Amino acid sequence: MTKSNIALSLLFTLLTFIDVSTSSPSVFNVVSFGAKPDGVTDSTAAFLKAWQAACVSAASATVMVPTGTFLVKVITFTGPCKSKLKFQVAGTIVAPANYWAFGNSGYWILFNKVSKMSLVGGTFDARASGFWACRKSGQNCPPGVRSITFNGAKDVTISGVKSLNSQMSHMTLKGCTNVAVRSIKLVAPGNSPNTDGFGVQDSTGVTLTGSTIQTGDDCVSIGPGTRNFLISKLNCGPGHGVSIGSLAKQLNEAGVENVTLSNSVFTGTQNGVRIKSWARASTGFVNKVFFQDLIMKNVQNPIIIDQNYCPTHQGCPTEHSGVKISQVTYKNIQGTSATQQAMNLACSKTNPCTGITLQDIKLTYNKGTPATSYCFNARGTSLGVIQPTSCLNR
């Protein structure tokens, strides 16, 4: 073989190697971009640089957050990216201890318009104890932030994530499509104010499975425009339970449709399964909801519809709720109620709840005192054994 042929052969081999190497997944470690795992150094810029480099990668890419503690301030990860992207967290990401550092942003970590992305593992600690103290004292406080937010995301997987001590909600999806969430843990003290766990609004095709939520407000909050939402194997408590609403905040509001909650346990929560709307005009609706195979352990208000929602009991609207509630099924719900009234279906004065189904309900209050039920303008059918006694009108 001549020297020129040898050179051509080597060049061909080199080009083949380059082609193969660029097709393999690329890893972008935030430490390589300047992040410091000491919990003190501001690593926000380094995280953003790692994301931007991964986002333009032609091959599948991974943003890697290794073990250690990383301080990150308000940050937005913007998509869509060129290829599939994994955000892998092995360590802990902490927010600034000074709650004024967030300004009026409304969020701490925002994933905006991402697609074909996965968020895997890690602990996110918003360190909100100072903010909660400010809120409880009645002082002048900033509005607060959500810890992890996905806006306009599509085809996303979230797994193994742990969120601690959020200022407001732990994890929020808004305007998202096809998001699978599994094995997450959202934790804040039961007396922390307004710390919703998992919130969904204007989204479709969301699943939440095998997760634990212990917080100071709703474990799961389901807002207007939520469709095709499946929740299963949820452990909820402390907290305010699983809530659809509050609805009728606005006159023109999208409805909630095709929501299923199954195989879940509520422990010591303020509510079990709740639908709540303000007593004012609204184009909103709730349709095709299934609450089934649930266990209540010392839960206040295990089954509740409240269409006169007004938590402060001050300046409450005096109209009738325009939200139409229909085709809601409560099936195989058992356990203990911390309040004697275990079932409260208080529907709108002008828009009765219709198509309500109660099937195989067994809720007890305490020995010697039976649980009770209350209905107002609630119409439907009762099947099997219903305890407390059904109050539905046909």
Cα(91)–Cα(68) distance, integer angstroms: 5
CA dihedral 308, 310, 316, 319 (to 10 degrees): -20
Cis status, amide bond into 80, omega within 30 of 0: yes
What distance in Å separates the CA atoms of residue 28 and residue 64, rounded to the nearest whole number?
6
The residues facing 65 across adjacent strands are: 89
Q: How many CB atoms lie within 10 A of CB 163?
A: 27
Query: Are the beta carbons of 233 and 209 closer than 8 angstroms?
Result: yes
Nearest CA to 51 out of 22, 16, 75 is that of 75
Q: Does residue 240 carry a catalytic annotation?
A: yes
Q: Which one from 170, 240, 313, 320 is the annotated catalytic residue?
A: 240
Q: Cβ-count burial of 367 within 10 angstroms (0-12 exposed, 13-18 middle, 19+ buried)? A: exposed
Q: 31-39, long-range: CB within 8 Å, 24+ apart, which pairs?
A: 31/66, 35/65, 35/70, 36/70, 37/66, 37/67, 37/68, 37/69, 37/70, 37/91, 38/68, 38/69, 39/68, 39/69, 39/70, 39/71, 39/92, 39/94
With vertex at residue 381, the alpha carbon angle to CA 347 and CA 270, rounded to the nearest 5 degrees, is 45
What DSSP assignment string belongs to 164-200? ES-SS-SEEEES-EEEEEES-EEE--TTSTT--SEEE
DSSP-assigned letter for residue 32: G
- How far is Cα of residue 124 from the mean position of the Cα atoms in its chain? 15
Asked whether 288 and 258 are in contact (CB, 8 A), the reply is yes
Can you tell me the distance from the alpha carbon of 260 to that of 237, in angstroms, rounded to the nearest whole number?
19
Contact between 178 and 168 (Cβ < 8 Å) = no
Q: Which residues participate in catalysis according to the annotation?
A: 240
